[in-house]
Amino acid sequence: MKKLTKKQIEFITIAIAIVSCIGTYLALLPGEKWQGFFEFFIPGETFTVRATNWQNTGIHVTSDQKIEIKYISGRWENCVGCPATNASGISDDAYMSSNPSNVIYGCPHGALIARTSDTIDSINLPVGEQDFLSLQNDILCIGNSFIGTFPFSGYIQLASNDRFTFDNSGSIVIRVTIK
């Protein structure tokens, strides 16, 4: 292989430095504009979660596996006229975490929530009364960022923290990574 000249090495070094600086700058930009660009390089799987149902990610986890779920982009609304939010939901007092239409309390209304399911087939299950009554302790409040374990092994399902989904709209994109 032909040996590079000093000038060529200098040029390559400067080019790498410039690309690194631009990359760092874009990665540190607030908001969601550039995050999608970097998704390609980040491990894990991305999913679009609608505000209307439990959606199965198809990712199976055991209760001893550490999982990261991170909001990437998008907005959803949990009623007609409700503010559009990201996965953190509505922190406003009028929609506080004890909102009676929440699937789980202590978690902002409209926040991203998660649970595990025994079967991969249970896709698009409605978020409903059954969840509210029997699964309070099995559902995790995820919001924009979560790192931790699930109480039970199974397939990860995701939804919005709202039992009355008939008036919901929009979707968000999240990334699930098994650590």
Interface with Ca ion (CB under 5 A): 78-79, 162, 164, 167-168
**Closest approach of Ca ion to the CB of residue 14, in Å:** 54
**How far apart are alpha carbons 160 and 102 in whole angstroms?**
9
**Closest approach of Ca ion to the CB of residue 164, in Å:** 4
**Closest approach of Ca ion to the CB of residue 110, in Å:** 8
Neighbours of 56 (CB within 10 A): 21
Q: How many CA atoms lie within 13 A of 12 on its CB side?
A: 6
Q: Which is nearer to Ca ion, 57 or 102 (CB)?
A: 102
**Closest approach of Ca ion to the CB of residue 168, in Å:** 5
Q: Which is nearer to Ca ion, 70 or 163 (CB)?
A: 163
**How far apart are alpha carbons 60 and 39 in whole angstroms?**
21
Is residue 76 within 8 Å of residue 172, measured between CB atoms?
Answer: yes
Q: Which is nearer to Ca ion, 86 or 168 (CB)?
A: 168
Neighbours of 29 (CB within 10 A): 10
**How far apart are alpha carbons 151 and 36 in whole angstroms?**
30
Q: Which is nearer to Ca ion, 56 or 78 (CB)?
A: 78
Q: Which is nearer to Ca ion, 67 or 127 (CB)?
A: 127
User: In this structure, is the dihedral angle defined by the CA atoms of residues 20, 73, 141 and 42, taken in order, positive or negative?
Assistant: negative
**Closest approach of Ca ion to the CB of residue 78, in Å:** 4
**How far apart are alpha carbons 157 and 46 in whole angstroms?**
13
